[in-house]
Amino acid sequence: MNMYFLLPDLNLALAVGSLFLAVITIVLYVDYFLWKGKYFSDTIKEVSWPVLISVTIGSVVMSLVYSEYFGFVPCSLCWLQRIAIYPQALLSVLAFKVQDHTKFPVYGIGLSLFGFVVAVYHYIYQALPRESSSSALMPCLVDGSNADCAVKVMNVFGFVTFPFLSAVTFAFLIILYLYMLRLNKGK
């Protein structure tokens, strides 16, 4: 059965979800840096692990749904973003099981920073006119695949694309890890 009729609804749901996550992320950054976690530290302490595990596993599942179920071939830059998120899904579960509150957030920040930088570059790459993207710093198709990094598989509201979702997710994970580190130092 052809399930492509679900694609516009799934794209819309992911776009709205990413905008909601972007607002939460901005609020958390303001609280963390301006108010030193005064308003949300207690909430983050209670929900950080379930949220972290849900976001990372959800990201992996959604990337696999689009590539394996809907058949969209990930481009080179998408693969780099996957490389940054896939280990976090497994490691977050393991870190939760062993209660690693000190080392895992540091590794998570490193992976998320890498993923964030690639996602922002990918977003800018897609936003450039087609002629200027061919002279980019790192052209796509460096891996020999037939996926083009400039193609927007998803484009909702005129600006929400996969790299946008990815950048928001990585920015959210970074602030979550920063809270985890600060809360662990307070013990």
Q: Give tens-digit pLDDT for 23-79.
A: 999 999 999 999 999 999 999 999 999 999 999 999 999 999 999 999 999 999 999
Return the sign of the alpha-carbon dihedral for residues 138, 155, 69, 117: positive
Could you tell me if 56 and 85 are in contact, meaning their C-beta atoms sit under 8 angstroms apart? yes
- Between CA 76 and CA 126 the distance in angstroms is 13
Query: Confidence class of residue 150 from pLDDT cuts 50, 70 and 90?
Result: confident
- The structure tokens listed for 71 are 């058949």
- Residue 20 burial (C-beta neighbours within 10 Å; 0-12, 13-18, 19+): exposed
Is the model's pLDDT at 136 over the cut of 60?
no
Looking at residue 29, its amino acid is Y
> How many helices and strands, by DSSP H and E, does the chain display?
6, 0
Is the model's pLDDT at 144 over the cut of 70?
no
- Between CA 15 and CA 47 the distance in angstroms is 23
Q: Give tens-digit pLDDT for 81-128.
A: 999 999 999 999 999 999 999 999 999 999 999 999 999 999 999 998
